[in-house]
Amino acid sequence: MSKIKWFPIIEFFLLFVTILFDGQFSNFLFVLSKGTVYATSNIFLIFLMYVVLRNSYLYNVLISLILGFIYDSYFTGIIGIAALIYPLIALFIYHIRTIVHTSRVTRFYTLVIIITIFEVMKVTIVQIMGLGSIEFVPFISKTLAPTLALNIVLWLLLQIPLEKIFIERKS
């Protein structure tokens, strides 16, 4: 009788829930700011940084791709933006995972880098596809800076529980 490994299934479910939460929480903050600031919650990327540590290359790419399609279909309506960027970020984290998980400082800087990459790539793809016109200075001041600030606070709140789950119990 084979033993089912439940942790990857639980991780997938957790990542799925974080994507749903990210979208709803980001929309809530946008409404709360009356449309002046668009701080995007990226709890998915925070969790992904830890999930990558435990799983294979193929698993990380597949769950990122699937969840990217779900994110695109549910929130953006344009299939391909998150479905392209999430797997690329998962690959990036996977290849530097031994460095990322050496200390909290390296995880902090990795978080800042991957969130910046995600936000800049999103805007770049939108610009290339001609779906919108985005100016650089307002993007930095009204989207990127608030997004980084929000996600740094979220990471500070989540880092200890995530370390206990993913780093102390890694197999």
* Separation CA 119–CA 40 (nearest Å): 9
Please give the pLDDT value at position 167. Answer: 81
Please give the pLDDT value at position 1. Answer: 41
Please give the pLDDT value at position 169. Answer: 59
Q: Which residue has the tokens 């969790």?
A: 47
Please give the pLDDT value at position 41. Answer: 96
**Residue 141, by phi and psi: left (phi above 0), alpha (psi -120 to 50) or beta?**
alpha
* Separation CA 107–CA 126 (nearest Å): 28
Please give the pLDDT value at position 170. Answer: 54
* Separation CA 126–CA 43 (nearest Å): 22
The domain segmentation of the chain, as residue ranges, is 7-59+88-167
pLDDT in tens, the chain (171 residues): 445 578 888 999 999 999 999 999 999 999 999 999 999 999 999 999 999 988 999 999 999 999 999 999 988 888 889 999 999 999 999 999 989 888 999 999 999 999 999 999 999 998 998 888 888 899 999 999 999 999 999 999 999 999 998 886 554
